[in-house]
Chain A
Amino acid sequence: MPHEPLDIDQQVEDLIRGPQYALPQAEKDRVLLDVLRERCHKIALVCPAYGRFLDRLGTPPETWRSLADVPLLPVAMFKHFFLTAVPPSEIVRELHSSSTSGQRPSRIPIDKTTAFRQTRALASILKEHLGGQRRPYLVLDAAESAAAGDTLSARGAAIRGVGNFASQTFFALRKTPEGDLESDWPAIEDFFRKYAAQPILLFGFTFMVWTRFVERAEERNLQFNASQAILLHSGGWKKLAARAVSKEQFNRRTAAVLGCSPEAILDFYGMIEQVGTVFVDCASGNKHAPAFADVVIRRPHTLEPVAVGEAGIIEVLSTLPASYPGQAILTEDQGVLLGVDDCPCGRKGSYFRFTKRIEQAEARGCGDTFAQAREI
């Protein structure tokens, strides 16, 4: 079936520029599906590995009837293959995931178009949560984490992305000679002395915010009276859950240290494989997909979309990537779909909550011989 000519670049631009949470789900499905169908088809033509993936495991793009029909690419594939849809000369930056336990990191090639879109898309989302005003920005990390170069880590990408809302940027942590990170209290206290009375922005990775800032500040009985502060944070909850720190406790105690409302502590869900596409908490504590992206929660085993109220594996869809096949990614996270178009906060579309990373739940018996080497 021939594709109708479609200016998908213009469509993506319109989605980025427009309001981020106004499209009802049915309309969003239609708009995004047109773009993704065309984009996946084009990428398959120039990225042989992705072409084989669609040929062998997918269905032809023209038969896709909903976003759930777009073939799911498991996120781990970015560790196993260098998936690029552009020639090396057009790659302006390579994003890398943090590699834990000796695993290979993800490698994400970014061309100029994608980089530009990612920056503006993140700005467009955050604008709806932060307003348009630039703010003094305190990064709860070290300057080295955001250093510029040809490659960029997940942390660096996030710090720099949020930094688009900064009038001035400050760093709250510093590297010790041993390579650890410690709080730079003179710098932190100086920041709050100067800016606590005005709207400010803070960002950090959840575990570091807690261990290097909140707990240390509590030990020192510090409270900063920054009533107009907004703290964005992202990253796994596993280490905090191990310390029996709930999200409610995190928000309450962090807000108490900053002197702001717990509702100004905003968790967002995102990943290096889809930079620019973030799912930010609303005031009701639910995560919403922006206009140019979506989320589908999949049932284990059948991989069918779940019903409202059901938990499953999180799939994230985005129209931003043009330089790699990151349009429909099956994550290694679990979440629960809470509703569609009816969040109390008023935002439209599907909304969900992240629940946990997917982990091997049980010993898989004596046939699980090479479990230590598992890397598939």
Chain B
Amino acid sequence: MVVFRITPEGMHPAADSLEPLVEGLNLNREWLAKIPIDNLVALFADFAGKILRDPRTKSLEGCMFLSAWLGENNLRQLLQLNLNGNPAYLDGFQPLGRNYLAAKPQGLAAMWMAGNVATLPMFSLVPALLAKNVCLMKLADPDPAGMDKLLAVLAEAQAGELRGAELLEAVAVIWFDYHNRALNEQMSLAADVKIVWGGAEAIRAISALPRREHCGEIVFGPKYSIGLIDRERLEGDPAKLEDAVAGFVRDISVFDQRACSAPQTIFLERNAKRSLREVGEIFARQFAKLPPKPGLDSYTTMQIANVRARWAMDENRDVIASTDGANWTVCLDRELALKEAVQSRTIFLTEIEAWRDIIPLLSPKVQTVGLAFGRSEDALEFAEAAARAGVARCVRPGIMNNYESPWDGKLLINHLVRWVTLKL
């Protein structure tokens, strides 16, 4: 067996081909399409409460945010934003002027997940189910990293007559070796819509797979995120600066800085009050408050040792690093560039003359900019320029990793439905 299935019971060998799984999923298309959207929202709201209480899921990284995101109010807002203000389009034709409009599922949503964030699969699965698509989801790693536990809790969720276990009949979460081209092709050809999360190499490979003519593709990643602190914030109220830095440090520490929304380089304007080193020390103090990382692989340890030494040895750079191994690192320089991401609590603080200097660095590769601006007029002006350059989000420090819609400039649920008109 080369295809493994992840179910509430864990991971087990399932098949040598995707065919039986796809056939099984397609049998559920009609049934799923008929579930009222209110019932689906209520079921996920029940799931939201359960994951915070259930010992299997409550300590998963990102669980708290996932629960808030699954809340009824949030999902309703999400649906409204994605569905032209009226989620009822998902339940059938709704009057629009003198005609009618409906949002129908694409069919089978095939999802290739990245392995960097444990809860990420849910941010792909739930929108696809809200759009009433049957889902074939391939995880990046053979270790389900908590997805089996989330599925187990979802199976126990209930809203009226609708039970989570029933809904999971419309879902197959699987893993197979990514080198297996035949299975990747089968998955791509079975799809009515493809969702791909991951790094550049994965995206290129999956996009190159054959697909049916009508099948669309929604790509998330690869992206790089940054922070920006303006002169007013640096020279102003120390407590506000401390808050901003604490927010950035939270953004850096969540998911070990592997999410595309985690800042890797933070730019700060040269100012009369605080030197680059002094700001670095504020970051260092905030990092020191974090609990130690649970562990680290040899490769990342080596990368961290390398970047520390490079910044330490260079007369034009500086570094502040934890003394307890490769726990956290603050690299200081004045090089106007997006630094190669090292991740795992490694931040590059770059002093610049003025915030406008970084505009040329912005492109669609930059996803999120964490903004700590004292002057809101400047923040707006920066956001306009950044958005024109291709940046997807400008948010305050501390919420950079909060998954929201739109994400990467896309309203995901909107892409997961087909808009159908009726004119009588």
Contacts and interface: CB of A to CB of B under 8 A. Distances in A.
Interface in A340-368: 358-368
A367 B265 CA distance: 12
Dominant SS at the B interface?
A: loop
B309 A369 contact: no
A73 B309 CA distance: 7
Interface stretch (B56-64, B339-347, B350-358): B339-347
B116 A364 contact: yes
Interface string B247-267: 000000000011111101000
A358 B296 CA distance: 13
B117 interface: yes
A375 interface: yes
Contacts of A363: 114-115, 140, 198-199, 201-202
B223 interface: yes
Contact of B301 (A313, A368, A376): A313
17 contacts: A56-B318, A57-B321, A80-B310, A300-B295, A300-B301, A301-B296, A330-B302, A360-B299, A362-B141, A363-B202, A365-B117, A365-B221, A367-B223, A367-B343, A368-B199, A368-B343, A371-B201
A304 interface: yes
Contacts of A53: 309, 312-313
Contacts of A77: 306, 309-310, 313
Given A74-B309, A369-B260, 20 more contacts: A53-B309, A56-B318, A57-B312, A72-B305, A76-B306, A77-B306, A303-B325, A303-B326, A304-B325, A361-B297, A363-B115, A363-B198, A365-B116, A367-B116, A367-B257, A367-B259, A370-B224, A370-B338, A374-B340, A376-B306
A325 B295 CA distance: 30
Contact of B198 (A303, A366, A370): A366
Interface stretch (A2-10, A44-52, A154-162, A188-196): A44-52
Given A53-B312, A56-B312, A300 B297 contact: yes
B220 interface: yes
A332 to B, nearest CB: 6
Contacts of B221: 365-366
Given A57-B319, A302-B325, A369 B301 contact: no
Contacts of B10: none
A73 B261 CA distance: 32
B133 interface: no
Contact of A371 (B200, B300, B327): B200
A84 interface: no
Interface string A249-279: 0000000000000000000000000000000
Interface centre among A74, A330, A362, by most B CB within 10 Å?
Answer: A74
B278 interface: no
B381 interface: no
Contacts of B201: 363, 371
B23 interface: no
Contacts of B262: 367
B174 to A, nearest CB: 17
Contacts of A49: 313-315
A369 B302 contact: no
Contacts of B258: 364-365, 367-368
A312 interface: yes
Interface string B191-233: 0000001111110000000000000000011111100000000
A365 B259 contact: yes
A49 B311 CA distance: 10
Nearest to B116: A365
Nearest to A303: B325
Given A77-B309, A366-B259, A376-B342, A301 B141 contact: no
A371 B224 CA distance: 11
B324 interface: yes
A301 B319 CA distance: 18
Question: Looking at B260, B308, B310, B315, which has the most chain A CB atoms within 10 Å of its CB?
Answer: B310
Interface string B32-74: 0000000000000000000000000000000000000000000
A80 B140 CA distance: 34
Contacts of B402: none
B365 interface: yes
A144 B308 CA distance: 38
B298 interface: yes
Interface in A52-104: 52-53, 55-57, 72-74, 76-77, 80-81
A372 interface: yes
A55 B308 CA distance: 12
Nearest to B114: A365
Interface string A297-323: 001111110000000110000000000
A306 B326 CA distance: 15
A313 B340 contact: no
B334 to A, nearest CB: 16
B285 interface: no
A300 B296 contact: yes
Contacts of A80: 310, 313
A369 B300 CA distance: 15
Given A300-B297, A367-B224, A52 B315 contact: yes
A57 B308 contact: yes
A359 B314 CA distance: 26
Given A53-B309, A369-B224, A361 B299 contact: yes
B141 A312 contact: no
A366 B116 contact: yes
Contact of A366 (B260, B313, B315, B327): B260
Nearest to A366: B221
A370 B339 CA distance: 9
A72 B220 CA distance: 39
Contact of A368 (B222, B302, B305, B314): B222
A373 interface: yes
Interface string B106-118: 0000000011110
B199 A366 contact: yes
A376 B340 CA distance: 8
Contacts of A73: 309
Interface in B131-184: 140-141
Contacts of A332: 302
A334 interface: yes
Contacts of A375: 340
A365 B112 CA distance: 12
A306 B52 CA distance: 38
Contacts of A373: 340
- 9 closest residue pairs by CB, A with B: A365-B116, A366-B221, A301-B296, A302-B325, A366-B260, A49-B313, A56-B312, A369-B224, A300-B301
A81 B200 CA distance: 30
